[in-house]
Protein backbone atom coordinates (compact mmCIF):
# COMPACT_ATOMS: atom_id res chain seq x y z
CA UNK A 1 0.00 0.00 0.00
CA UNK A 2 3.04 2.24 0.10
CA UNK A 3 2.52 3.32 3.73
CA UNK A 4 5.36 2.65 6.09
CA UNK A 5 4.89 1.56 9.66
CA UNK A 6 4.49 4.59 11.89
CA UNK A 7 3.42 6.95 9.12
CA UNK A 8 0.42 9.17 9.67
CA UNK A 9 -1.81 7.85 6.93
CA UNK A 10 -5.57 8.34 7.09
CA UNK A 11 -7.57 5.52 8.61
CA UNK A 12 -4.63 4.03 10.49
CA UNK A 13 -6.67 4.09 13.71
CA UNK A 14 -3.67 5.34 15.66
CA UNK A 15 -3.32 8.95 16.64
CA UNK A 16 -0.45 10.52 18.43
CA UNK A 17 -1.15 12.96 21.27
CA UNK A 18 -0.67 16.54 20.26
CA UNK A 19 1.14 17.56 23.45
CA UNK A 20 3.55 16.23 25.97
CA UNK A 21 2.42 13.90 28.71
CA UNK A 22 1.57 15.78 31.87
CA UNK A 23 2.07 13.78 35.06
CA UNK A 24 -0.83 13.77 37.54
CA UNK A 25 -0.66 16.36 40.29
CA UNK A 26 -0.15 14.81 43.70
CA UNK A 27 -1.41 16.69 46.74
CA UNK A 28 -1.51 16.23 50.48
CA UNK A 29 -4.25 17.85 52.51
CA UNK A 30 -6.28 17.32 55.66
CA UNK A 31 -9.85 17.56 56.86
CA UNK A 32 -10.61 18.67 60.41
CA UNK A 33 -14.05 18.94 62.03
CA UNK A 34 -15.36 19.45 65.55
CA UNK A 35 -18.84 18.27 64.59
CA UNK A 36 -19.59 14.58 64.04
CA UNK A 37 -20.47 12.96 60.76
CA UNK A 38 -24.14 12.11 60.36
CA UNK A 39 -23.96 8.32 59.84
CA UNK A 40 -26.44 8.19 56.95
CA UNK A 41 -24.85 11.17 55.16
CA UNK A 42 -21.37 9.73 55.58
CA UNK A 43 -22.56 6.34 54.32
CA UNK A 44 -24.14 7.96 51.26
CA UNK A 45 -21.01 10.02 50.56
CA UNK A 46 -18.69 7.03 50.73
CA UNK A 47 -20.99 4.69 48.78
CA UNK A 48 -21.25 7.24 45.97
CA UNK A 49 -17.46 7.61 45.82
CA UNK A 50 -17.56 11.39 46.28
CA UNK A 51 -13.95 11.75 47.38
CA UNK A 52 -12.82 12.24 43.79
CA UNK A 53 -9.08 11.99 43.35
CA UNK A 54 -8.33 10.81 46.90
CA UNK A 55 -6.06 7.77 46.63
CA UNK A 56 -5.14 7.42 50.32
CA UNK A 57 -6.63 8.72 53.54
CA UNK A 58 -6.14 7.90 57.19
CA UNK A 59 -7.16 9.32 60.53
CA UNK A 60 -9.80 9.30 63.21
CA UNK A 61 -13.42 10.34 62.88
CA UNK A 62 -16.29 11.26 65.15
CA UNK A 63 -19.51 9.68 63.87
CA UNK A 64 -22.73 10.66 65.67
CA UNK A 65 -23.83 7.09 66.31
CA UNK A 66 -20.52 6.31 68.04
CA UNK A 67 -20.34 8.58 71.09
CA UNK A 68 -17.93 6.58 73.22
CA UNK A 69 -15.24 5.67 70.71
CA UNK A 70 -13.53 7.17 67.72
CA UNK A 71 -13.74 5.56 64.31
CA UNK A 72 -10.45 4.65 62.67
CA UNK A 73 -10.59 5.84 59.05
CA UNK A 74 -8.33 4.07 56.56
CA UNK A 75 -8.67 4.19 52.78
CA UNK A 76 -6.40 3.05 49.96
CA UNK A 77 -7.78 3.28 46.43
CA UNK A 78 -11.27 1.75 46.42
CA UNK A 79 -10.78 -0.05 49.76
CA UNK A 80 -12.35 1.83 52.68
CA UNK A 81 -12.30 0.70 56.31
CA UNK A 82 -14.13 2.43 59.13
CA UNK A 83 -13.35 0.45 62.28
CA UNK A 84 -13.87 1.00 66.01
CA UNK A 85 -11.05 3.11 67.41
CA UNK A 86 -9.87 4.31 70.78
CA UNK A 87 -12.36 5.58 73.36
CA UNK A 88 -12.73 9.35 73.51
CA UNK A 89 -11.24 10.80 76.70
CA UNK A 90 -14.50 12.66 77.32
CA UNK A 91 -16.38 9.33 77.20
CA UNK A 92 -14.05 7.83 79.82
CA UNK A 93 -15.32 10.43 82.31
CA UNK A 94 -11.72 11.39 83.14
CA UNK A 95 -11.31 14.80 84.74
CA UNK A 96 -9.70 17.22 82.29
CA UNK A 97 -6.75 17.56 84.66
CA UNK A 98 -5.88 13.92 83.92
CA UNK A 99 -5.92 14.31 80.14
CA UNK A 100 -2.55 14.18 78.35
CA UNK A 101 -0.76 17.52 78.33
CA UNK A 102 -0.45 17.53 74.53
CA UNK A 103 -4.24 17.63 73.95
CA UNK A 104 -5.30 20.78 72.08
CA UNK A 105 -6.60 23.49 74.40
CA UNK A 106 -10.02 23.66 72.75
CA UNK A 107 -10.74 20.02 73.72
CA UNK A 108 -10.70 20.91 77.41
CA UNK A 109 -13.50 23.48 77.13
CA UNK A 110 -15.62 21.98 74.32
CA UNK A 111 -18.97 20.49 75.38
CA UNK A 112 -18.06 17.38 73.42
CA UNK A 113 -14.51 17.20 74.78
CA UNK A 114 -11.89 15.63 72.54
CA UNK A 115 -14.36 14.26 69.98
CA UNK A 116 -13.32 15.39 66.50
CA UNK A 117 -12.43 14.27 62.99
CA UNK A 118 -8.87 14.49 61.69
CA UNK A 119 -8.18 12.80 58.37
CA UNK A 120 -5.03 13.23 56.28
CA UNK A 121 -5.39 12.63 52.55
CA UNK A 122 -3.23 12.08 49.49
CA UNK A 123 -4.82 12.99 46.19
CA UNK A 124 -4.02 12.49 42.54
CA UNK A 125 -5.52 15.30 40.48
CA UNK A 126 -7.83 15.89 43.45
CA UNK A 127 -9.59 19.15 44.21
CA UNK A 128 -8.96 19.50 47.98
CA UNK A 129 -11.61 22.23 48.35
CA UNK A 130 -14.26 20.05 46.66
CA UNK A 131 -13.33 17.05 48.83
CA UNK A 132 -13.57 19.16 51.99
CA UNK A 133 -16.96 20.57 50.87
CA UNK A 134 -18.29 17.04 50.29
CA UNK A 135 -17.07 15.93 53.73
CA UNK A 136 -18.56 19.04 55.42
CA UNK A 137 -21.96 18.27 53.85
CA UNK A 138 -21.84 14.84 55.54
CA UNK A 139 -21.44 16.37 59.01
CA UNK A 140 -24.24 16.91 61.49
CA UNK A 141 -25.40 20.51 60.99
CA UNK A 142 -24.69 23.15 63.62
CA UNK A 143 -28.40 23.23 64.51
CA UNK A 144 -28.49 19.43 64.87
CA UNK A 145 -25.41 19.56 67.09
CA UNK A 146 -26.94 22.27 69.28
CA UNK A 147 -30.44 20.76 69.55
CA UNK A 148 -29.59 17.07 69.34
CA UNK A 149 -30.54 14.63 66.63
CA UNK A 150 -31.49 10.99 66.36
CA UNK A 151 -31.90 8.53 63.54
CA UNK A 152 -31.77 4.93 62.44
CA UNK A 153 -28.73 3.61 60.60
CA UNK A 154 -27.84 0.05 59.68
CA UNK A 155 -30.86 -1.29 61.53
CA UNK A 156 -30.25 0.41 64.84
CA UNK A 157 -31.34 3.66 66.41
CA UNK A 158 -28.84 6.30 67.50
CA UNK A 159 -29.01 9.76 69.02
CA UNK A 160 -26.72 12.68 69.64
CA UNK A 161 -27.32 14.85 72.67
CA UNK A 162 -27.44 18.57 72.06
CA UNK A 163 -24.44 20.65 73.15
CA UNK A 164 -25.94 21.83 76.45
CA UNK A 165 -27.16 18.33 77.39
CA UNK A 166 -23.74 16.96 76.42
CA UNK A 167 -21.96 19.49 78.63
CA UNK A 168 -24.12 18.67 81.65
CA UNK A 169 -23.77 14.92 81.04
CA UNK A 170 -19.96 15.16 80.97
CA UNK A 171 -18.60 16.10 84.40
CA UNK A 172 -15.05 16.12 82.98
CA UNK A 173 -15.86 19.24 80.95
CA UNK A 174 -15.53 22.54 82.83
CA UNK A 175 -18.84 24.43 83.03
- Local confidence pLDDT in tens for the 175 residues of the chain: 555 555 454 555 555 666 888 888 899 999 999 999 998 899 889 888 779 999 999 999 999 888 889 999 999 998 889 999 999 998 898 888 899 999 888 998 888 899 999 999 999 999 999 999 999 999 989 888 877 776 665 665 655 555 555 555 554 444 3
**Euclidean distance between CA atoms 31 and 135, whole angstroms:** 8
pLDDT of residue 11: 52
pLDDT of residue 152: 61
pLDDT of residue 93: 85
**Euclidean distance between CA atoms 175 and 173, whole angstroms:** 6
SS3 85: strand
Q: CB–CB of 37/45 below 8 Å?
A: no
Cα torsion angle, 158, 142, 99, 170, sign: negative
Q: CB–CB of 35/163 below 8 Å?
A: no
pLDDT of residue 150: 67
Q: CB–CB of 42/138 below 8 Å?
A: yes
pTM (predicted TM-score)? 0.75
**Euclidean distance between CA atoms 37 and 32, whole angstroms:** 11
Among 151, 140, 147, smallest CA distance to 162 is for 147
- Give the chain's end-to-end CA distance (angstroms, integer): 89
Amino acid sequence: SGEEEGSEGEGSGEEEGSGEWVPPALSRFAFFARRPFHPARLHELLMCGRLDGVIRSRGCAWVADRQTESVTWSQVGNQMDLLPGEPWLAAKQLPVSQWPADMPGWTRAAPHGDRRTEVGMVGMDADPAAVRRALRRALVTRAELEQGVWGKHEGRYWWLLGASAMASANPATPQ
